[in-house]
Structure 1
Amino acid sequence: MKTDLLIKNAWVYQTPTRNFAKKNVAVTQGKFYYISSVDMEHLNANETIEAEGQYMIPGFIDIHLHIESSMTTPAIFSETALGYGVTTVVADAHEMGNVFGLEGLKHFMAAETKMDIFHAIPSSVPSTTVDLETTGGVIALEEVRELLKDPRVICLGEAMNFKGIAYDKDSLIRQIIDLCQKERPTMPLEGHIPKIYDQELADFLMSGISSDHTHQFPEYLLEKIQAGLFIQFQDKSITPENMAVIRDNQLFDFACFITDDIMVDDFLEGHLNKNVEKAIACGLPVEEAIYMTTYTPARRMSLLDRGMIAPGKVADFMFVSDLESLTIEQVYKSGEKVFTKGQPFHYPEKIETFPESYYQTVDCQKLTFDDLTLNVETKKERVRCNVIQKQVVGTFTERITKELTVKEGALDWQAAGLAQLIVMERYGINGNIARALMDDPLTGIGAIGTTWAHDHHNVMLMGNDPESILVAQHALLEMQGGYVVVNQGKIVATCPLPIGGILSQAPIEELGQALKGVRQAMKDLGYENGNEIMSFSTLSLPVSPAIKVTDKGMMDTKSQTFYPLVFPEDGVLKHETTN
């Protein structure tokens, strides 16, 4: 018999026993054929590889990520991520859906890539409801019904609306879940369940959702798994304490590693491989870390043709020279070599084509100094205000109370050491402008602006200097989206994202360096967080605890009610939300 590829003397990962054994491996027609310690010269291979001293492990599988978080398109993403050993992903393109609706999803899914990209139905477009935030697109029952017909769609993407899922059987998200269960009874339903426990967790899980990828804490991790949740660990949840819960309780079949959101500057350094390295450094045995990044996620998504090196499985694999550091030497996709260590980032020969209208999507008014004056109707000299306080670790926020001086009929927010946070509807739908205040988020004088504002992607501005806020907003309108940082009235960093205000087709190195510049400029302004970009971009995410801002106002994300900026008994802010 003739075979395409023969690999000799590799230390092959044995999935059932989670160890390595010296084997020879034959590959034919893009699949593993014969794995054994016996000599295979009789197979007459077209190509033979001597892999003495190399560890051969299956390709990594990332079952929850948003390609748009890397601010690039599927074709460019595929070429880059393959170099990190990632051969299969399940993409939830809800960012694209929030900007362009079903049409945008179809453009995204049409990309031709070497990597296998399966898709999740974006369940959260918008993440809450149209009454709570304005988006460019909506994915409702008709759109879900159409997506369910596509075989590349293999799960329902993260369902986030806690109140609608747990307590409102007539909500759109519950109708979407019901439709998926009717049309695809065994399809996984993915969840976004931050800080929900005990009976509230049970109320949520009664919907049929069975996974969670949000921030995990060791004191609740076992409870969640015993409640039937499959846990997907993103970077911030990969801690020694969480890994100890998994290791000590032998829970390797009930969790996996995912990336969720990898910013493009971090993408220059790695992808899912970095999370595996971190898990190993946090005390998880390397063999179990591999298992939880290959076989476990494949089973979760019923991708039964991959995830292990065995006859009949897709021949996705990599050669690793050092397990502890996970040094990847080569990557193969369906038996074809797609990466060799040391090669530069490769720009794909064929990239996606988007309509011209996708490059003109930021449609809102140009702000003036008058728009930044927070006029208040009151007889008091000082009024109490609801203020947002961000954390320096993670994306959670808290509501605090501050007492502000009223000066010439307006809040003297600058004297109080606060910054304005503004969200402007940018799809040309209603012209909403919501205003909030933040507690001392910057030590320098300036402003930050973006259209990459989770998940509605309206224009978001934050600054402690009116001039800098205006410069930032005007720059975003001119760029038609992206990130901008202004220091003392001067633009110091930009990252243009011209496709819908969320994507670019610039080479990955160029795009990554631009975002690195934005990140450093944010640090220079004194914006403090372990992930400055994600922290800022989620100040607008109305399903993340505990207080965020949409174009409709400042929201308690659990109760889904809005806070007034000024306490009602003290006064009324003119134009709390203007439209």
Structure 2
Amino acid sequence: QLMGYAAAGITSDHECITKEQALERLRAGIGVMLREGTAAKNLKALLPAVNPDTAPYFMFCSDDKIPAELLESGYINDMIRIAVSEGVSVANALQMATINTARHYNLKDVGAIMPGCKADLLVLDSLNPWVPLQVYKDGRLAYDQGRLVQTGTELDSSDLEHTVNVGELNLDALRLPLATEMAHVIGLVPYQIVTKKATLPVKRVDGCAVSDIENDVLKLAVFERHRATGNVGLGLVKGFGLKRGALASTVAHDSHNLIVIGTNDEDMLAAARELQRIGGGICIADGGEITASLALPVGGLMTNEPAQAVADKQAEIIAKAREMGVPEFYSPFLTLAFLSLPVIPSLKLTDKGLVDVDAFKFIPLGAK
């Protein structure tokens, strides 16, 4: 299957999670992006595949990193810091961060300091802790010792707002009939976006599956939110840790439907309705009340608010989720976002139902 991808023209992969997978890609002529994001942390497991001979074929990527983490620890410079601390040479680390990516994408005018290239530069006074003193963009100073010099451009985003168009939101839509005692359950994996396909006994009330806080099995719902089709996918997740309330988001790769996880239907409904009201974003419901929210009105994915303000608000919401039980090895809302991505193994949920990604087919919730 991997060789089929390579033969079809696929030239890069950012989904490797082991050294062996990375080397398989290189042997097939596929460049490997070493990923270290907020939800998926794979860099340290992949770095053993990097040596002076293989380094030209590796690149860095984050594949989703929240604003709070970007501002606190950095972006690609943080990955260089980690790589060097793990034994990669400074030259190879910088190579993977710059020229390799430019060459891979055939970008002739970036990736190096030489005639004919844009002067996109980070200026550092030390290789530890890899924090730039200055940033130049197209030869112009953009950032200088903690101060943003260039200002952004104000854009009219009104045409991209009011995008949360869901069908009717009511408690009936969250009822999950289950005729069997066993069910297919999405099993979370710490620090990863891949999931396990678990078969577990499920708590039922009046013939319907419900969240089981004691055994850390929670109900998950995905509402189609673009064309108000009324599609609702329902499933169960093991390991999220939530002890009360519900979390909801309209950032839900790749279809970006409205996704909700919770300990009870009432809070799940309240969270979904809040995102409908504010035009998308992330929120927490607890005891029937909205206790934290961040509006993302631009496509239900972005905001025009300053990065620091967004990071501060996001940090508050994440702290609230932690206080409600979500452990440190899961990013509350990015882990949630990836639960609806039906191209990453092994079990995911879409608005049309539960997907066995390994088998490329929908499967029922009930299991024998």
- Cα 1:310–1:404, aligned 2, differ >3 Å: closer, same or farther? closer
Q: Is 1:518 aligned to residue 313 of structure 2?
A: no
Instruction: Report deviation, 1:518.
Output: 2.1
Retained in 2: the 8 A contact 1:451–1:501? yes
Retained in 2: the 8 A contact 1:404–1:416? no
Separation (CA, whole Å) in 2 of partners of 1:345 and 1:428: 42
Matched residue, 2:55: 252
Instruction: Report deviation, 1:443.
Output: 4.0
Retained in 2: the 8 A contact 1:394–1:531? no
2:42 to 237, 240, 264: 237
Matched residue, 2:181: 383
SS in 2 for 1:327: coil
Retained in 2: the 8 A contact 1:244–1:283? no
Matched residue, 2:103: 299
- Cα 1:345–1:544, aligned 2, differ >3 Å: closer, same or farther? farther
Retained in 2: the 8 A contact 1:545–1:558? yes
Matched residue, 2:15: 214
Retained in 1: the 8 A contact 2:347–2:356? yes
Q: Is 1:438 aligned to residue 242 of structure 2?
A: no
2:3 to 180, 202, 208: 202
Matched residue, 1:499: 298
**Number of aligned positions between the proteins:** 361
Q: Give the alignment of 1:295-334 within 5 angstroms.
A: 295-334=99-138
Separation (CA, whole Å) in 2 of partners of 1:345 and 1:515: 25
Matched residue, 1:536: 336
- Cα 1:242–1:373, aligned 2, differ >3 Å: closer, same or farther? closer
Matched residue, 2:157: 354
- Cα 1:405–1:273, aligned 2, differ >3 Å: closer, same or farther? closer
Separation (CA, whole Å) in 2 of partners of 1:441 and 1:563: 22
Separation (CA, whole Å) in 1 of partners of 2:210 and 2:157: 46
SS in 2 for 1:558: coil
Separation (CA, whole Å) in 2 of partners of 1:416 and 1:371: 24
Q: Which amino acid aligns with 2:58?
A: A
Matched residue, 2:354: 554
Separation (CA, whole Å) in 2 of partners of 1:231 and 1:343: 34
Separation (CA, whole Å) in 1 of partners of 2:53 and 2:306: 42
Matched residue, 1:284: 88
Deviations 1:428-455 (A, max 9, x none): 2521011101225234211110110111
Retained in 1: the 8 A contact 2:250–2:258? yes
Retained in 2: the 8 A contact 1:424–1:434? yes
Matched residue, 1:274: 78
Separation (CA, whole Å) in 1 of partners of 2:169 and 2:138: 53
Matched residue, 2:271: 472
Matched residue, 1:370: 172
Separation (CA, whole Å) in 1 of partners of 2:56 and 2:127: 21
Retained in 1: the 8 A contact 2:188–2:239? no
Separation (CA, whole Å) in 1 of partners of 2:202 and 2:330: 30
Separation (CA, whole Å) in 1 of partners of 2:111 and 2:209: 59
Same amino acid, percent of matched pairs: 27
Q: Which amino acid aligns with 1:391?
A: V
Instruction: Report deviation, 1:272.
Output: 1.7
Matched residue, 2:198: 400
Separation (CA, whole Å) in 1 of partners of 2:243 and 2:27: 47
* Structure 1, 364-373 or 263-272: larger mean CA deviation: 364-373
- Cα 1:347–1:492, aligned 2, differ >3 Å: closer, same or farther? farther
- Cα 1:439–1:291, aligned 2, differ >3 Å: closer, same or farther? closer
Separation (CA, whole Å) in 2 of partners of 1:279 and 1:217: 16
Retained in 2: the 8 A contact 1:286–1:324? no
Larger Rg: 1
Retained in 2: the 8 A contact 1:444–1:487? no
Separation (CA, whole Å) in 1 of partners of 2:100 and 2:257: 37
Retained in 2: the 8 A contact 1:494–1:517? no
Separation (CA, whole Å) in 1 of partners of 2:58 and 2:101: 8
Separation (CA, whole Å) in 2 of partners of 1:477 and 1:449: 11
Instruction: Report deviation, 1:422.
Output: 0.4
Q: Is 1:454 aligned to residue 253 of structure 2?
A: yes
Separation (CA, whole Å) in 1 of partners of 2:214 and 2:176: 13
Instruction: Report deviation, 1:536.
Output: 1.2
Separation (CA, whole Å) in 2 of partners of 1:268 and 1:428: 35
Deviations 1:298-353 (A, max 9, x none): 111112223222233322223211113113111222322111112159652x2222
Could you say what the CA RMSD is over the residues aligned between the two structures, in angstroms? 2.1
Separation (CA, whole Å) in 2 of partners of 1:277 and 1:445: 38
Deviations 1:388-439 (A, max 9, x none): 1111221111121222355433335447743110011111252101110122
- Cα 1:306–1:362, aligned 2, differ >3 Å: closer, same or farther? closer
Separation (CA, whole Å) in 2 of partners of 1:478 and 1:355: 16
Retained in 1: the 8 A contact 2:167–2:229? no
Separation (CA, whole Å) in 2 of partners of 1:504 and 1:405: 39
Q: Is 1:337 aligned to residue 141 of structure 2?
A: yes
Separation (CA, whole Å) in 2 of partners of 1:431 and 1:299: 46
SS in 2 for 1:328: coil
Q: Which amino acid aligns with 1:373?
A: R
SS in 2 for 1:476: helix
Retained in 2: the 8 A contact 1:347–1:507? no
Q: Which amino acid aligns with 2:30?
A: L
Gaps of 5+ in 1: 1-199, 570-579
- Cα 1:508–1:399, aligned 2, differ >3 Å: closer, same or farther? same
Q: Which amino acid aligns with 2:364?
A: P
Q: Which amino acid aligns with 1:465?
A: N
